[in-house]
Structure 1
Amino acid sequence: MSKKVVTLGEIMLRLSTPGFERFVQADSFDVTYGGGEANVAVALSNYGLNGTFVTKVPDNAIGQAAINHVRRYGVDTQYIARGGKRLGIYFLETGAAMRASQVIYDRAGASIADVDASEFDFDKIFDGADWFHTTGITPALSDKAAALTEAALKAAKAKGITTSIDLNYRKKLWSKEKAREVMTRLCQHVDVCIGNEEDADTTLGFKAGETDVTKGELHLEGFKDVFQQMKEKFGFKYIASSLRESHSASDNGWSALVYDGTEFYHT
């Protein structure tokens, strides 16, 4: 039987300019739906696992369209709550060469930000689950969303389910101080932590001393030192990061680093 992985987070309506057009050039937008945690559920379903996505969407046609989008990939959507005012939107202008991508968010008042943990039966949601995943974006949306994230992590841990979180700091959603306060608390209930060098510094206070994120340079020894500090403080079973060396908006070098508490593995 395929392993069941539950993800929790916001799904948004994405309106992107066709091709590489600028916002000021576009006469139309391409429509899709997505979000960090929703995308993970879709990817895992494509890999043959049982992906289950949990969120809250408005009880209208746009909310249903978002549900239908992830459902078409085989994602289990039966635990999605309905209600609230609206679905968050973001506008995307895809970068090219030396021109960076641009994103404009319109997510204030989204349904997932006005949520209560009592709207979800985590005993049922986590029945038969092997893994629970979320990100730092969800608790950044509101105090209610942060409380929901913590409740979900605690419920998963109580059932012996492996938990993971992608730090994923978003400066437009909350301050460094608030992020560090909340994420430090949430990470007490996490087995696997994922995050790049900048997020580890911002949200948890760990810095890769030899890495300059503004230059797109990577120094693995700095990462290793940070991972060891994180392991010592939180006791994570695994710590991972994707590593990017940026050459331009459309040219990046990618690899990954994983630490299991004993050995480092670099792709």
Structure 2
Amino acid sequence: MAKVVTMGEIMLRLSTPGFEKFIQADNFDVCYGGGEANVAVSLANYGHDASFVTKVPKNEIGDCAVAALNKMGVDTKNVAHGGDRLGIYFLETGAAMRASKVVYDRAHSAIAEAEISDFDFDKIFEGADWFHFTGITPAVSDKAAEVTEAALKAAKAKGITVSVDLNFRKKLWSSEKAQKVMTNLMQYVDVCIGNEEDAEKVLGFKPGNTDVTSGDLELAGYEDIFKQMVAKFNFKYVVSSLRESYSASDNGWSACIYNGETSEFYHSRKYRVTPIVDRVGGGDSFAAGVICGLVDGKDFKSALEFGVAASALKHTIPGDFNLVTRPEVDALVGGDGSGRVQR
């Protein structure tokens, strides 16, 4: 199995029970998660050697975050300890036509205040095959952006394959700042993952007349911008999830991929995911599934199908982490989406 390193922020998630609004809640359900941490958990669950790099405060809450990863088989020996606090996010899960809402409380978190000297990247990347990061980490602070670039330089110096999930977060930075920072980081990237908003807000590419609210996806537009992205950044693969949001409870879910070496474009099978239990972490589970497929040695089309199926299943699981097994994903890829009781 491959060694995959991911780096980013793990946060404390406080979510309202069931589908309550914030104003109704007298208590919150607790779990931990974050983009790159979620990817590490999925990859560990699929049997790969997954290592997560971050900085957490040296207190009981930081310990709980690390313990949540250890429980899932993620290597945390390269986690730095220090700083004042762990980032928090509050989640109100939507239903039907009512959208989910996220409120961040992550300013001055441990990873946002981290220094390059907190990490020995030469040691961290020893024996690694793949490095994954997202656009969230450079967005949390200028220091985190500097740490991210240092990690990317170290990974590329060792010939490690690098993937990014663009993950634009308008509550963390502007599109202008995102494009300035992320365009520079793309020189280190081999596999670029995102969605239509990410491509536009982070890199300035808009896929035609796509309207996710109506389910009108112009695939030719995606193929066109993928070609432009490969021409500009020399990506090996460009990948986009395709979410058709009919409501908060009902989504169409598929993806497409462009092979920069062969100029092939492929659109996956589409799943109708309803009712959605928890869509947070859906994109991370998709990225992890695609990475898993590629490091397994699958062809790019099969890797995409694995990622889409894994993510469709994640929408049925509460919490940030995708807890499905390889056999469960393989069964769905093979066409068994009946949901029949397994006895």
Q: Same fold (TM over 0.5)?
A: yes
Q: What are the Cα deviations for residues 188-208 of structure 1, in whole angstroms up to 9, with x where unaligned?
A: 110000011111111111111
Does the CA contact (< 8 Å) of 1:5 and 1:131 recur in 2? yes
Whole-Å separation in 2 of the counterparts to 1:165 and 1:52: 16
Question: Structure 1 segments of 4 or more deviating over 3 A?
Answer: 213-216
Whole-Å separation in 2 of the counterparts to 1:197 and 1:92: 23
Match of 1:133 in 2: 132
Query: Is residue 229 of structure 1 aligned with residue 263 of structure 2?
Result: no
Query: Is residue 149 of structure 1 aligned with residue 148 of structure 2?
Result: yes
- What 5-or-longer segments of structure 2 have no aligned partner? 269-343
Whole-Å separation in 2 of the counterparts to 1:175 and 1:246: 24
Q: After TM superposition, list the pairs within 5 Å mapping 1:87-126 onto structure 2.
A: 87-126=86-125
Match of 1:82 in 2: 81
- Report the residue type matching 2:137 in the other structure: T
Match of 2:249 in 1: 250
SS in 1 for 2:192: strand
Whole-Å separation in 1 of the counterparts to 2:20 and 2:234: 46
- Report the residue type matching 1:263 in the other structure: E
Does the CA contact (< 8 Å) of 2:209 and 2:218 recur in 1? yes
Percent identical: 71
Whole-Å separation in 2 of the counterparts to 1:141 and 1:63: 18
Does the CA contact (< 8 Å) of 1:54 and 1:80 recur in 2? yes
Range with bigger deviation, 86-95 or 216-225: 216-225
Does the CA contact (< 8 Å) of 1:198 and 1:213 recur in 2? no
Whole-Å separation in 2 of the counterparts to 1:46 and 1:87: 25
Match of 1:29 in 2: 28
Match of 1:6 in 2: 5
Number of equivalent positions:
266
TM (norm. structure 2) is 0.76
Whole-Å separation in 2 of the counterparts to 1:100 and 1:139: 27
Match of 2:293 in 1: none
Whole-Å separation in 2 of the counterparts to 1:217 and 1:76: 41
- Report the residue type matching 1:239 in the other structure: V
Q: Give the aligned CA root-mean-square deviation in angstroms.
A: 0.9
Match of 1:158 in 2: 157
Deviation at 1:93, TM superposition (A): 0.7
Match of 1:265 in 2: 266
Match of 1:170 in 2: 169
- What 5-or-longer segments of structure 1 have no aligned partner? none
Q: What are the Cα deviations for residues 18-43 of structure 1, in whole angstroms up to 9, with x where unaligned?
A: 11111111111100000000000000
Match of 1:195 in 2: 194
TM (norm. structure 1) is 0.98
